[in-house]
Amino acid sequence: MKFSIQIARGIESLFGTRDENIRLLESELHIETRLLDGQRLEVEGEEPEVHRAERILTDYVDLVAKATFSATAT
């Protein structure tokens, strides 16, 4: 199964230094990821693991968006 998500802001912190964050996600969930066009992350693997990664990444995107909005609102 495949899933992709737009990550407009915070992609550097998602990947982490030397990609350790994304590698941890891949190894723990037994998924593969690919960065597409510099802002979209594609996730591939078994359905339950892809759905779990989808929830994690969606939460991440929402948190970054809220933090960005809060920073610009003050």
The reported pLDDT for the residue numbered 27 is 98
Q: How confident is the prediction for the chain on average, in pLDDT? A: 91
The reported pLDDT for the residue numbered 44 is 98
The pTM for the full model equals: 0.85
Alpha-carbon gap, residue 49 to 47, rounded angstroms: 6
pLDDT above 70 for 13: yes
The reported pLDDT for the residue numbered 70 is 63
Q: Worst-scoring range by mean pLDDT, 23-32, 40-49, 63-72?
A: 63-72
The DSSP bridge partners found for residue 28 are none
| Average pLDDT value for residue range 25-38 | 96
Alpha-carbon gap, residue 15 to 5, rounded angstroms: 14
